Structure 1
Amino acid sequence: MTVDLLADFVRADRERDLGLYGIHVHRDGHEPLTHRFRSDDRVNLYSVAKTFTSVAAGLAEAEGRLGLDDLFLDHFPELRPIAADGFERVTLRHLITMTSGSSHKWFAHLRIDAVDLLHEFVAAPLEAEPGKRFSYTGSGPYAIGRVLARATGANVRDYLMPRLFRPLDLHNPAWHTCPLGYPFAESDLFLRTEELARFARLLLQEGEWAGRRVIPAEYVRRMPAESVDTTDSAEHGEQFTHGYGLGVWLSGNGTYRMDGAYGQYAVIAPQKRAVLTVTAHCEHDTDVLTAMHELVLDRL
């Protein structure tokens, strides 16, 4: 594997106006391959943050603090009086996989006018039976962050500091918070391209880093395996129709990925023992993913 592998990808940045920041290629048995289009500053990973929140839930589950099939309201019983009809059947798994059935739509770039966003989410009417329909929104992952805070006594960022961020030498990452001080969980985590690549490599290695078990291997295997149907997401692009797991998108070709707005991607390819990580700002971000596959990953 040589730098020549990236030549067409680098050229595509200019020809296709991809707005790339950087690319990092890891393949077992080879030196890492990188190219910078600008300095490697920490950038908003947008919805890639959902994967970190999922891993936090997996760690908390391994510690016996919660279970993915727990009912959400068992962790917040005081919200039962305001909960929408049917919300009593919503589990933590539904929140991670965005299949709660709730009509609530929220993402971290939207202003929060509610006194407590969690209350607003719980009270919103359901549009579907929990677990029956995928609907992309940040509400569920945000709620998972709130469950983690209650179950562990630490917000999702602080909970991950000794368990994930420090082992990977991800020093003091910023994670924007709601007005109540809880990390958004679904977005607004800031890391460098190379830092995100470490996390992606950790998943390729089934949770082991430098001889240390960081994430339970079973949970890493479950992340792409325990998926929900997303065929109704075709209007967002064909790449979103292959299923969504525990915080990761399935690609339909044996790979799975972390996926954030404007071209924040980390593609894990277990069969090729490879990881491809990119950060960017591209208005047509799926063009970045297409170039990653066609010009780099498919050639490994």
Structure 2
Amino acid sequence: MRLISGLPAAPPEAVGLDPVRLDAAARHVARDLPHVTSLLVARRGCLAFERYFGIQAGEAQDLQSVTKSLVSLLVGIALDRGLLTSLDQPVLPLLPGAGDPSDCRWRQVTLRHLLTMTSGLPSELTDPAYDDAWVKSADPVRFALAQPLVAAPGTTFHYSNAGAHLLGAALAGAAGQDLAAFAQEALWTPLGIATPHWPRDPQGRPFASGGLHLTPRDLLRLGQLVLQRGEWAGQQVVPRSWVETATRPRVAGYAWMEGLPEYGLLWWVAREGHTEGWYATGYGGQYLAVFPELELVAVMTGKVENHPNHRQVIAREVRAAVL
């Protein structure tokens, strides 16, 4: 059987998918959603549907905040290896040389708080001036630590790019190596993914908040890894327990962002049509969706610009193709 991106290829009907409905979804995209660049669907471990819109299969896409969910997988690996001790480990000791925090409550901030977006940092989504200042700062980690917290750690969800970037820096500190190097050894190489482009901050740290570039096929491969509870080709790449932990609802998120009501550990969680879905999402319409009960993985990518939400293509049209 022909392998594509590490998955065998199969016609939709061979894995219980309706090809007519999938073709209709692709026509909808081509006709009404000019910002979409790809739609891929796998079921029962097989790539069953693949369409590209204005790009080629091998073109890496800017995944934006999908990056956060992949960093979550790296945290699980680090915990399993003993590089991190627990989710309730304070963050500041993992950031030596990052400067003194402005708010004494920073000493209470843990890995769990950063993973659930409850550190108390303000949200860039609701404060464009703060977002611009953070992105353009000479040292985004120092900049974040210099901000007074807007809530006590652990009390309130504020979607935070700065918090995710702090988590990546803390993870690199715990691993004793560059975050991208750790990701290459721990995740990309076991899955057979070529070294991806990953933008860095002015201090040379990969942005854990977003910007990782992968091909849609590689993103589908990562979704299949999550569906398989961290197992790939007979190897437990990510601890099974971590996949199950990261995809449990922890806090109420910003439903207005994606229409997804709950947040896990850098993963969005939803029940749609009585079916549980685990989502990694990014600005511009980047989606990795895993439906464990359906053995279904879907990927959509889009141009990194403001445009109407197209998640419903997955939530409704792709799910409706399951026979």
How does the TM-score come out when normalised to structure 1?
0.91
Q: Is residue 93 from structure 1 mapped to residue 112 from structure 2 by the alignment?
A: yes
1:39 aligned to which of 31, 38, 56? 56
Displacement of 1:110 after TM fit?
4.3
Q: CA RMSD in A?
A: 2.1
Could you tell me whether the CA contact under 8 Å between 1:155 and 1:182 is conserved in 2?
yes
User: C-alpha separation between the residues in 2 aligned to 1:266 and 1:139?
Assistant: 22
Could you tell me whether the CA contact under 8 Å between 2:123 and 2:158 is conserved in 1?
no
Equivalent residue for 2:291? Answer: 269
- Long gaps (5+) in structure 2: 1-11, 14-18
User: C-alpha separation between the residues in 1 aligned to 2:46 and 2:222?
Assistant: 18
Q: Letter of the aligned partner of 2:40 in structure 1?
A: H
Q: Letter of the aligned partner of 1:247 in structure 2?
A: L
Equivalent residue for 2:94? Answer: 75
Could you tell me whether the CA contact under 8 Å between 2:281 and 2:287 is conserved in 1?
yes
User: C-alpha separation between the residues in 1 aligned to 2:114 and 2:47?
Assistant: 38
Q: Letter of the aligned partner of 1:264 in structure 2?
A: Q
Deviates more, 1:137-146 or 1:25-34: 25-34
CA offset digits 1:233-275 (Å, max 9, x no partner): 24435x13x2111111112231111101111101100010110
Displacement of 1:120 after TM fit?
1.5
Equivalent residue for 2:246? Answer: 223
* Distance 1:206-1:69 versus aligned 2 partners, 3 A rule: same
1:178 aligned to which of 201, 208, 211? 201
How does the TM-score come out when normalised to structure 2?
0.85
User: C-alpha separation between the residues in 2 aligned to 1:159 and 1:27?
Assistant: 30
* Distance 1:9-1:203 versus aligned 2 partners, 3 A rule: same
Displacement of 1:18 after TM fit?
4.3
1:250 aligned to which of 263, 269, 274? 269
2:181 aligned to which of 127, 148, 158? 158
User: Which residues of 2 match residues 27-176 of structure 1 at below 5 A?
Assistant: 27-28=43-44, 30-37=46-53, 38-40=55-57, 41-66=59-84, 67-76=86-95, 81-103=100-122, 105=124, 110=132, 112-176=135-199
* Distance 1:68-1:29 versus aligned 2 partners, 3 A rule: closer
CA offset digits 1:197-236 (Å, max 9, x no partner): 0000000000001111110000011111152122xx2443
Could you tell me whether the CA contact under 8 Å between 1:145 and 1:155 is conserved in 2?
no
SS of the residue aligned with 1:149? helix
Identity across the alignment (%) = 29
Q: Is residue 8 from structure 1 mapped to residue 24 from structure 2 by the alignment?
A: yes
Q: Is residue 23 from structure 1 mapped to residue 39 from structure 2 by the alignment?
A: yes
Q: Letter of the aligned partner of 1:119 in structure 2?
A: R
Displacement of 1:5 after TM fit?
3.4
Q: Letter of the aligned partner of 1:39 in structure 2?
A: Q
Could you tell me whether the CA contact under 8 Å between 2:98 and 2:141 is conserved in 1?
no
User: C-alpha separation between the residues in 1 aligned to 2:118 and 2:23?
Assistant: 41
Q: Letter of the aligned partner of 1:251 in structure 2?
A: A
* Distance 1:5-1:84 versus aligned 2 partners, 3 A rule: same
SS of the residue aligned with 1:186? coil
Deviates more, 1:14-23 or 1:272-281: 14-23
Displacement of 1:7 after TM fit?
1.3
Displacement of 1:113 after TM fit?
4.1
User: C-alpha separation between the residues in 1 aligned to 2:120 and 2:163?
Assistant: 10
Could you tell me whether the CA contact under 8 Å between 2:230 and 2:240 is conserved in 1?
yes
Could you tell me whether the CA contact under 8 Å between 2:37 and 2:301 is conserved in 1?
yes
* Distance 1:164-1:173 versus aligned 2 partners, 3 A rule: same
Count of matched residue positions in the alignment of Structure 1 and Structure 2: 294
User: C-alpha separation between the residues in 2 aligned to 1:49 and 1:18?
Assistant: 24
Deviates more, 1:171-180 or 1:35-44: 35-44
User: C-alpha separation between the residues in 2 aligned to 1:113 and 1:264?
Assistant: 24
Equivalent residue for 1:291? Answer: 313
SS of the residue aligned with 1:167? helix
* Distance 1:60-1:268 versus aligned 2 partners, 3 A rule: same
